[in-house]
Amino acid sequence: MAEAAIELKGISKNFGSVRANRDIDLKIAPGTIHGIIGENGAGKSTLMSILYGFYQADRGEIFVNGERAVIHASNDAIARGIGMVHQHFMLVHNFTVLENVILGAEGEPLLKTSIAKARSELERLERDYGLEVDPDAVIEDLPVGLQQRVEILKALFRGADILILDEPTGVLTPAEAEHLFRILRQLKDEGKTIVLITHKLREIMAVTDNVSVMRQGALVATRKTEETTVEELAELMVGRRVLLRVEKGDAHPGDFVLSVKNLTVEDMRGVKMVDDVSLDVRAGEIVGIAGVAGNGQTELLETITGMRKAVSGTVTLDGAPVELTGEADPTDLRRRGMAHVPEDRHNMGLVLPFEENENAILGYHWQDKYVNGPFLDIEAIRRDAQEKIEKYDIRPTDARLKTANFSGGNQQKIVLAREMEQDPKVLIVGQPTRGVDVGAIEFIHKRLIDMRDQGKAVLLVSVELDEIRSLSDRILVMFAGRIVGERGPDATEGELGLLMAGVEEKEAAE
Partner 1 sequence: MSAPYAKLPAWADYGLIPLINLTVAFIVAGLVVLLIGENPLRAAVILVDGAIGRGQAIAYTLYYATSFIFTGLAVAVAFHSSLFNIGGEGQAYVGGLGVALVCLAFDSVLPWWLTFPLAILGAALFGAAWALIPAYFQAKRGSHIVITTIMFNFIAASLMVYLLVEVLKPAGSQAPQTRTFLEGGQLPKLNWMLEAMGFAVRSAPLNVSFLLALVAAFLVWVLIWRTRLGYEIRMRGHSPKAARYAGVSEVRVIIVTMLISGALAGMMALNPVMGDQNRLQIDFVTGAGFVGIAVALMGRSHPAGIVPAAILFGMLYQGGAELAFEMPGISRDMIVIIQGLVILFAGALEHMFRPSLQALFASFSPRAVGAEAKQGESA
Ligand X SMILES: Nc1ncnc2c1ncn2[C@@H]1O[C@H](COP(=O)(O)OP(=O)(O)OP(=O)(O)O)[C@@H](O)[C@H]1O
Count of beta carbons in the 10 Å neighbourhood of residue 230: 14
Q: Which of 407, 431, 433, 462 binds ligand X (CB under 6 A)?
A: 407
Is there binding between residue 386 and Mg ion (CB under 5 A)? no
- Based on CB atoms, which residue is closest to ligand X, 7 or 166? 166
CB of 8 to partner 1, least distance (A): 16
CA distance 508 to 498: 6
Residue pair 182/130 in contact (Cβ under 8 Å)? The answer is: yes
Residue pair 56/38 in contact (Cβ under 8 Å)? The answer is: no
Q: Are strands 162-166 and 193-197 parallel, antiparallel or unpaired?
A: parallel
CB of 152 to ligand X, least distance (A): 20
- Based on CB atoms, which residue is closest to ligand X, 167 or 302? 167
Residue pair 384/421 in contact (Cβ under 8 Å)? The answer is: no
CB of 329 to partner 1, least distance (A): 6
- Based on CB atoms, which residue is closest to partner 1, 251 or 352? 352
CA distance 186 to 132: 13
Torsion of CA 397, 399, 405, 410, to 10 degrees: 60
Instruction: Assign residue 88 a region (left: φ > 0; alpha: ψ between -120 and 50; beta: otherwise).
Output: beta
Only one of the segments 111-119, 233-241, 331-339, 406-414 lies at the binding site for ligand X (rule: CB under 6 A); that segment is 406-414
Q: What are phi and psi of 25, to 5 degrees?
A: -110, 130
> Binding-site residue total for ligand X (CB under 6 A)?
19
DSSP state of 403: G
Is there binding between residue 412 and Mg ion (CB under 5 A)? no
Residue 30, C-beta contacts closer than 8 angstroms, at least 6 positions apart: 2, 3, 4, 5, 65, 191, 193
Longest dimension (CA), the chain: 70
- Based on CB atoms, which residue is closest to ligand X, 356 or 467? 356
- Based on CB atoms, which residue is closest to Mg ion, 37 or 281? 37
Is there binding between residue 433 and partner 1 (CB under 8 A)? no
CB of 349 to partner 1, least distance (A): 7
Is there binding between residue 309 and partner 1 (CB under 8 A)? no
Taking CA atoms, 106 is separated from 42, 99, 100, in Å, by 37, 9, 10
Is there binding between residue 60 and partner 1 (CB under 8 A)? no
Q: Which of 5, 33, 45, 118 binds ligand X (CB under 6 A)?
A: 45
CA distance 293 to 463: 6
* Cis? peptide before 321, omega within 30° of 0: no
347 binds, among partner 1, Mg ion, ligand X, none (CB under 5 to 8 A by kind): partner 1
365 binds, among ligand X, Mg ion, partner 1, none (CB under 5 to 8 A by kind): partner 1
Residue pair 330/323 in contact (Cβ under 8 Å)? The answer is: no
CB of 216 to ligand X, least distance (A): 9
CB of 43 to Mg ion, least distance (A): 8
Count of beta carbons in the 10 Å neighbourhood of residue 82: 29
Give CA angle at 333 (328, 336), nearest 5°. Answer: 145
Q: Facing residues of 63 across strands?
A: 7, 68
Residues 202-261 that bind partner 1 (CB under 8 A): none
CB of 347 to partner 1, least distance (A): 5
Taking the CA atoms of the chain, what radius of gyration do you get in angstroms? 24
Residues 296-315 that bind Mg ion (CB under 5 A): none
- Based on CB atoms, which residue is closest to ligand X, 40 or 147? 40
Q: Which of 6, 36, 43, 45 binds Mg ion (CB under 5 A)?
A: 45
E strand or H helix that includes residue 109: none
Is there binding between residue 10 and partner 1 (CB under 8 A)? no
- Based on CB atoms, which residue is closest to ligand X, 279 or 360? 360
Q: Which residues bind partner 1 (CB under 8 A)?
A: 14-16, 45, 49, 53-58, 72-74, 86-88, 90, 166-167, 170, 197, 306-307, 327, 329-332, 334, 340, 342, 344, 346-354, 358, 362-363, 365-366, 371, 374-376, 378, 402, 404-408, 411, 435
Q: Which residues bind ligand X (CB under 6 A)?
A: 15, 18, 20, 38, 40-46, 395-396, 405-409, 437
Q: Which residues bind Mg ion (CB under 5 A)?
A: 45
